[in-house]
Structure 1
Amino acid sequence: MPKPTILIVDDNQSNIKILVEFLCTEFEIIVSMSGEEALSIVQKERIDLILLDIFMPKMDGFEVCKRINENHEKYYIPIIFVTASNSDDDIEKGFTLGAVDYITKPFRKIEIISRVKTHILLQDYKNNLEDRVKEEIEKNKLKEKIMFHQSKLISTGEMINSIAHQWRQPLNSINSAVMGVDTLLMQKNIFCKEINQKLEEIEIQTQYMSKTIEDFSNYLNPNKNKANHKLKKIIKKSLTILRTKFSKNKIAYEIIEKSDAEIFCIEGEIIQVLIVLINNAIDALKENKISNPKIELIIDEKKLIISDNAGGIKSNIDKIFLPYFSTKKAQEGLGIGLYLAKTIIEDSNNGKITVKNNDLGAEFTIKFN
Structure 2
Amino acid sequence: MSKPLILIVDDNQANIKILVEFLSNDYEVVVSITGKDALEIIDNEKIDLILLDIFMPHMDGFEVCEKVYEKHDKHEIPIIFVTASSNDDDIEKGFNLGAVDYVTKPFRKVEILSRVKTHILLKDYKNNLESKVKEEIEKNKIKEKIMFHQSKLVSIGEMTNSIAHQWRQPLNSINSAVMGIDTCLMKNHINNEEINEKLEEIEIQTQYMSKTIEDFSNFLNPNKHKGYNNLKEIVRKTLTIIHTKLSKNNISCNLIEKTTSTVLCTEGEIIQVLIVILNNAVDALKENSITNPKIDIEIDTNKISITDNAGGIKKDNIDNIFLPYFTTKKADEGLGIGLHLAKAIIEESNNGKLSVENVDCGAKFEIKFN
Q: TM-score range by the shorter chain?
A: 0.7 to 0.9
Aligned pairs for 1:77-226 within 5 A = 77-138=77-138, 140-142=140-142, 144-193=144-193, 195-219=195-219, 221=221
Task: Give per-residue Cα distances to partners, 1:43-89, cap 9 Å, x unaligned.
Answer: 11111211111221211111111111223259532211212223333
Aligned residues: 369
C-alpha distance in structure 2 between counterparts of 1:331 and 1:94, whole Å: 53
* 281-290 or 198-207: bigger deviation: 281-290
3-state SS of 1:115 partner: helix
Task: Please report the RMSD computed on the Cα atoms of aligned residues, expressed in angstroms.
Answer: 5.1
* 262-271 or 218-227: bigger deviation: 262-271
Partner amino acid, structure 2, of 1:359: D
User: What is the identity percentage for the equivalent residue pairs of Structure 1 and Structure 2?
Assistant: 73
Q: 5+ residue gaps in structure 2?
A: none
C-alpha distance in structure 2 between counterparts of 1:140 and 1:114, whole Å: 38
1:40 aligns with 2:29: no
Question: 1:267 Cα deviation (Å)?
Answer: 9.1
Q: Tell me the TM-score normalized by structure 2.
A: 0.72
3-state SS of 1:51 partner: strand
Q: 5+ residue gaps in structure 1?
A: none
Task: Give per-residue Cα distances to partners, 1:72-130, cap 9 Å, x unaligned.
Answer: 25953221121222333322222222222222211111121122122222333333443
Task: Give per-residue Cα distances to partners, 1:196-218, cap 9 Å, x unaligned.
Answer: 44433432332232233233334
Q: Judge conservation of contact 1:69–1:76 (CA < 8 Å) in 2.
A: no
* 338-347 or 194-203: bigger deviation: 338-347
C-alpha distance in structure 2 between counterparts of 1:346 and 1:337, whole Å: 14
Q: Judge conservation of contact 1:211–1:268 (CA < 8 Å) in 2.
A: no
Question: 1:35 Cα deviation (Å)?
Answer: 0.2
Task: Give per-residue Cα distances to partners, 1:290-321, cap 9 Å, x unaligned.
Answer: 66666655443444545454656789889999
3-state SS of 1:92 partner: helix
* 149-158 or 53-62: bigger deviation: 149-158
Question: 1:257 Cα deviation (Å)?
Answer: 5.1
Distance 1:195 1:362, change over 3 A: farther
Distance 1:195 1:266, change over 3 A: farther
3-state SS of 1:82 partner: strand
Aligned pairs for 1:308-319 within 5 A = 309=309, 311=311
C-alpha distance in structure 1 between counterparts of 2:70 and 2:276, whole Å: 56
C-alpha distance in structure 2 between counterparts of 1:120 and 1:108, whole Å: 18
Task: Give per-residue Cα distances to partners, 1:251-300, cap 9 Å, x unaligned.
Answer: 87766554455667899999999899889978987887766666655443
Q: Judge conservation of contact 1:295–1:308 (CA < 8 Å) in 2.
A: yes
C-alpha distance in structure 1 between counterparts of 2:139 and 2:101, whole Å: 36
Partner in structure 1 of residue 51 of structure 2 = 51
Partner amino acid, structure 2, of 1:174: I
C-alpha distance in structure 1 between counterparts of 2:363 and 2:337, whole Å: 18
| Structure (1 or 2) with the larger CA radius of gyration | 1
Partner in structure 1 of residue 15 of structure 2 = 15
Aligned pairs for 1:269-288 within 5 A = none
C-alpha distance in structure 2 between counterparts of 1:181 and 1:332, whole Å: 47
